[in-house]
Amino acid sequence: MSASGVLRIGTRGSALAIWQARWVRDALQRQHPDLAIQLEIIKTTGDKILDSPLSLIGDKGLFTREIEQALLRKDIDLAVHSLKDLPTELPAGLVLGAVTEREDVRDVFIPHPRARHRRLADLEAGSVLATGSLRRRAQLLAMGRSFSVVDIRGNLNTRMRRLEESTWAGMILARAGVVRLGWEEKVGETIDPNVMLPAVGQGALGIEIRGDDARTREQIAVLEHVPTRQATTAERALLHRLEGGCQVPLGTLARFEDGDGKRGRLVLDGLVATLEGDRVVRGSASGSPGDAEHIGTNLAEQLLSDGADEILRHIRAGS
């Protein structure tokens, strides 16, 4: 907390990022009504470079690095991230102080506003779909529908505008962000995770703080949602074991088999695919929620032995 007694929240400047930061601010304000809170908008590398696919400019810290630097300089007291953007290895001195309750984890198909089709199954072979994610691209191509996939960058407002101006059939986005911005009516289809596994941590917010900041850690404790923490810990452990120096078409989802994060087993599904979706390695692992990290690592080892190792070697070699 600053010398003035104000809790400063660092965030990116997109409409979605500001919505998320305000949501955190309001949740904290309800629990700490006398706490003064202000938002600090910080532009990240991923926000500045919009003319290249993410896979060509690297994936580690694209949307977090500048915010983390501000946190280490003590210009801000906490950072609000979409958890799927937060690397599994944090800079020395920083920790994941809280993980919020997860929203809908699924992806959605947003059809062109003038199109008659509303579902992926309705599209003709060769239809053009837009996404900025290698994970989505690979799974779309793996459907065997001869889709043509184009890259799209920018915040959600920019993507919506580009879709309207295009001749594309539609685009794929995370449902959580679309709903948070009040655009649910634009959704043509919410895609079942059995068809398209989401990204690591999709739908959850990660609150990053300095490890030695006990006061802020105590203040944000009200945001922590244990089942989401357990589920995303398994997913992030999977990513950590598989991660290399480039983007990887990797999808995963952890779920509780009885729907209760405090009981039952944690089940983790995952896949690694080639960039063109012509080969997909899938697997599943389960165990006690308290062993979430172990479950993620185990599934990673299983996927590697089943062929993901070869896929990742080709991707990292630029094949």
CA proximity to 6, closest of 37, 41, 40, 34: 37
Percent of the chain with pLDDT over 70: 90
Average pLDDT, the chain: 91
Q: State the pLDDT at residue 279.
A: 96
User: Is residue 272, in this structure, part of any structural domain at all?
Assistant: yes
Q: For Cα atoms 313, 44, 184, give the angle at the middle one, nearest 5 degrees.
A: 85
Torsion angle in degrees (nearest 10) through CA of 166, 172, 173, 175: 120
pLDDT beyond 60 at 284: yes
Distances (CA, A) of 111 to 134, 196, 212, 262: 19, 17, 47, 38
Q: Give yes or no: residues 220 and 81 share one domain.
A: yes
Q: State the pLDDT at residue 2.
A: 58
Q: Which domain holds residue 141?
A: 107-191
pLDDT beyond 70 at 12: yes
User: Is residue 319, in this structure, part of any structural domain at all?
Assistant: yes
Q: Give yes or no: residues 139 and 18 share one domain.
A: no
Domain boundary, last residue among 139, 169, 191: 191
Q: Give yes or no: residues 76 and 218 share one domain.
A: yes
Distances (CA, A) of 149 to 17, 120, 308: 26, 13, 23
User: Is residue 198, in this structure, part of any structural domain at all?
Assistant: no
pLDDT tens, 131-148? 999 999 999 999 988 999
* DSSP states along the chain: --TTSEEEEEE-SSHHHHHHHHHHHHHHHHH-TT-EEEEEE---HHHH--SS-HHHH--SSTTTHHHHHHHHTTS-SEEEEEGGGS-SSPPTTEEEEEEPPP----EEEEE-TT-S--SGGGSPTT-EEEES-HHHHHHHHTTTS--EEEE--S-HHHHHHHHHHS--SEEEEEHHHHHHTT-GGG-SEEEPTTTS---TTTT-EEEEEETT-HHHHHHHGGG--HHHHHHHHHHHHHHHHH--SS---EEEEEEETTS-TTSS-EEEEEEEE-TTSS-EEEEEEEE-GGGHHHHHHHHHHHHIIIIIHHHHHHHHTT-
Q: State the pLDDT at residue 261.
A: 46
Q: Give yes or no: residues 242 and 311 share one domain.
A: yes
User: Is residue 3, in this structure, part of any structural domain at all?
Assistant: yes
Q: Residues 56-83: what's their mean pLDDT?
A: 84
pLDDT beyond 60 at 51: no
Which amino acid, residue 58?
G
Q: Give yes or no: residues 128 and 152 share one domain.
A: yes
Q: State the pLDDT at residue 63.
A: 74
Q: Give yes or no: residues 215 and 233 share one domain.
A: no
Q: For Cα atoms 231, 67, 171, give the angle at the middle one, nearest 5 degrees.
A: 60
CATH of the domain at 4: 3.40.190.10
Q: Give yes or no: residues 1 and 96 share one domain.
A: yes
Q: Give yes or no: residues 111 and 187 share one domain.
A: yes
Is 85 a known active-site residue?
yes
Cβ atoms 205, 96 nearer than 8 A: no
User: Is residue 196, in this structure, part of any structural domain at all?
Assistant: no
Q: Give yes or no: residues 248 and 284 share one domain.
A: yes
Return all residues near 138 (Cβ < 8 A) that are at least 6 apart.
249, 273, 274, 275, 276, 277, 280
User: Is residue 61, in this structure, part of any structural domain at all?
Assistant: yes
CATH of the domain at 248: 3.30.160.40
User: Is residue 90, in this structure, part of any structural domain at all?
Assistant: yes
User: Is residue 197, in this structure, part of any structural domain at all?
Assistant: no
pLDDT tens, 99-124? 999 999 999 999 999 999 999 999 99
Cβ atoms 93, 212 nearer than 8 A: yes
Q: State the pLDDT at residue 3.
A: 53
Q: For the chain, what is the domain count?
A: 3
Active-site annotation holder among 47, 59, 77, 85: 85
pLDDT beyond 50 at 198: yes
Cα separation of 32 and 240, whole Å? Answer: 35
Q: Give yes or no: residues 236 and 317 share one domain.
A: yes
**pTM given for the model:** 0.91
